[in-house]
Structure 1
């Protein structure tokens, strides 16, 4: 049975009408990866306004790990809406806020008391985390990494890499932000073993603490354990341990941005759990809300308590409707059954992608952890020169055949695979077949 059913071209006539309205009503800077116009969605399937059904391998950029319209989440939202929608946590006490905080406090790594602040987006979570770290340390400097994506507010955009796509024309940016290269095992220095390259990266980190910023001036070091927008680069455990050691030595707050790589995507609730490194603060968002706008900053109680009374918070932070959705979502995400399924989905994708790497010369690398997987396209395997045009071509082709995808990577030359973990084996196989067909056609053109 095919789960992809195409009754019209993508986009069809009804979609074209809505896309024309979008063009006239929304700013042109609001990009879109596909021309799919959604009518409804369920599990891993998206239905458009022309009656087509497509498989979703983008998952709202990793926002839908438990699947579209998860019944437990939808029922929790409906029940809460019948009680009350919001009264503002700055005015009243909202019990779902407390329950969600307690749940996150219990799941976050670290044998120490923790507290959680809720907000509405990943950007807000990162902004709050950095500001809390500054308040706690009484310092201003922050260290971040090339390839990182942390958000679009002034502070988080200052931390974000990939200048031309996200930052061009939007400065000035926050001062006292320092950026160094993140380890990239695919583009390691030629002739080095993996361990030698990690040693080299650690040496460059130490040099940055002399050449760029004194560690005693740093309030925080923020890093994604697996870079999302940067191209699913897993930061080596030894490098993360180096950061942890430096933070301990100099009283720096270590912040892990788990907004895309967390929430059960990699087979652990948090990706950093694969390394044994315990950060001081973890930022969560995206899939913890199953599509509802909610984010969290969870960290050591002593750090989280640092700002003065009234120093944190916002009107919509901790919306009870979003909170009950997140509570039900996290109950699913942290379960052994879900995490096991994440590993299974990831292994199926990994095994399939490895065969593609052998067959298609336009593929330079396939990588990832758990069900967070990616294909990187290059013009030459020898030079590893990025090919962003082929990534676009493959997405356009695959979407026309019923598969929703989105790019990634510092050079925008990668396709990330973030299907809902609830995807069935049959749906996963069908989607991978569609993607391979698009890659095969692009590869043939370049022979």
Structure 2
């Protein structure tokens, strides 16, 4: 196809999109989005032939990379069999996907309820927790994002929830650990962990722990800064939950399925939650799918008592076939081990070096293929770098064929988990040059 034809197709897509597509989180009249023509591995390209190394994984979900041939083939094969089966019938792909997910979860979590998205997974997790405990209150962190449906956006602590208020009754927010901008005046990770846990304990005391059904948290906070919990924190939250009969919900929608080098990020700390929500990386978004991994104790609550919830597409045959194939591919190709090596050999040392080289870098943090570079106008005051400068950094990266994920004053480095070490090194070189521009 000629360049002029490609440009015509690009313009046609943009025109149709602006005329008919209502886009999430956007002022519709201000949209000017790039139409994509294709992708492969850790790259995507537009209709003019511009090729970009992707540091976004779209919405931090294309863990297995674009157009993985084995996963595409598995979807094609499944589509040629029985493409959809309602939840009222048993399905081979649903059963197999549930087995593969539960076998990779912590011990004693053997049932999976499938949804169509991470937000729906959160909705059902809080329903399960409330029904199991007979309590109604839910605690969630301020620095969190749990989805955009009614319950999920109510649990969300960041500013995106404000436009949807009033929210779900019974939701209480608390401050989680974030040493770089500590709410607890901590100077070490140990202090941050201890003081954040004491704050959570006091919050529970004032809310009445016997009224709290669940504490939900992202095992590694994603959209709000990629905040890796300090040693002892998740263990401490688990202990608080055990003390008061509260369910612990681990939101692994963004952090799960190889993103941190484990099947589930919480496994880095050897903590067993009562419920795990997942989506995104389970099949890299090739077909919409999410779910809840349920502890044996909670699932037993519904052995004789019907669960009052369901979805037409719960465990959709095509989506589950893609998840089963994706998990098997990740295992066969050693993607979790690849992510761990990427962390140790490229991302951790490379991003640490950028912090040493550039005064504009205030903090670097992350794990696996899940990193954030926090940028500041002044290291002493930690004043966030402004939007204009962040825009210049993004433009400089794109000009060199690297597509960054800019979130507030941060660059999130979250490439497809299949990115090669050489590709990752090139991305960091381009990012370093872009940082020099400010």
**CA distance in 1 between partners of 2:391 and 2:168 (Å):** 33
Cα distance per residue 1:112-143 (max 9 Å; x no partner): 25211001100011111110010111111001
Counterpart of 2:17 in structure 1 is 22
**CA distance in 1 between partners of 2:186 and 2:217 (Å):** 27
**CA distance in 1 between partners of 2:356 and 2:109 (Å):** 49
Structure 1 counterpart SS, 2:301: coil
Range 25-34 or range 223-232, more displaced: 25-34
**CA distance in 1 between partners of 2:85 and 2:410 (Å):** 43
**CA distance in 2 between partners of 1:13 and 1:322 (Å):** 33
Aligned residues: 426
Cα distance per residue 1:228-281 (max 9 Å; x no partner): 011000122412111111211221111100111111111111111111111111
Equivalent residue in structure 2 for 1:341, among 338, 343, 358:
338
**CA distance in 2 between partners of 1:31 and 1:429 (Å):** 33
CA-CA distance at 1:327 after TM superposition: 0.6
**CA distance in 1 between partners of 2:210 and 2:111 (Å):** 25
Q: Within the alignment, does 1:133 sit opposite 2:129 as a pair? A: yes
Work out whether residues 113 and 300 of structure 1, in 8 Å CA contact, stay in contact via their aligned partners in 2.
yes
In structure 2, the gaps of 5 or more residues are none
**CA distance in 2 between partners of 1:274 and 1:23 (Å):** 44
Give the TM-score of the pair, scaled to structure 1: 0.90
CA distance 1:206–1:267, change in 2 (3 Å)? same
Q: What pairs up with 1:423-434 in 2 under 5 angstroms?
A: 423-434=419-430
Counterpart of 1:313 in structure 2 is 310
Counterpart of 1:231 in structure 2 is 225
**CA distance in 2 between partners of 1:261 and 1:29 (Å):** 22
CA distance 1:20–1:361, change in 2 (3 Å)? farther
Q: Within the alignment, does 1:176 sit opposite 2:170 as a pair? A: yes
Counterpart of 2:320 in structure 1 is 323
In structure 1, the gaps of 5 or more residues are 1-6
CA distance 1:351–1:312, change in 2 (3 Å)? same
Counterpart of 2:395 in structure 1 is 396
Computed over aligned residues only, the root mean square deviation of the Cα atoms, in angstroms, reads 2.2
CA-CA distance at 1:301 after TM superposition: 2.4
Q: Within the alignment, does 1:282 sit opposite 2:276 as a pair? A: yes
Counterpart of 1:100 in structure 2 is 97
CA distance 1:359–1:14, change in 2 (3 Å)? farther
**CA distance in 1 between partners of 2:15 and 2:395 (Å):** 19
Counterpart of 2:44 in structure 1 is 46
Counterpart of 2:353 in structure 1 is 355
CA-CA distance at 1:372 after TM superposition: 0.8
CA distance 1:392–1:12, change in 2 (3 Å)? farther
CA-CA distance at 1:210 after TM superposition: 2.1
Equivalent residue in structure 1 for 2:73, among 72, 75, 79:
75
Work out whether residues 114 and 121 of structure 2, in 8 Å CA contact, stay in contact via their aligned partners in 1.
yes
**CA distance in 2 between partners of 1:143 and 1:321 (Å):** 35
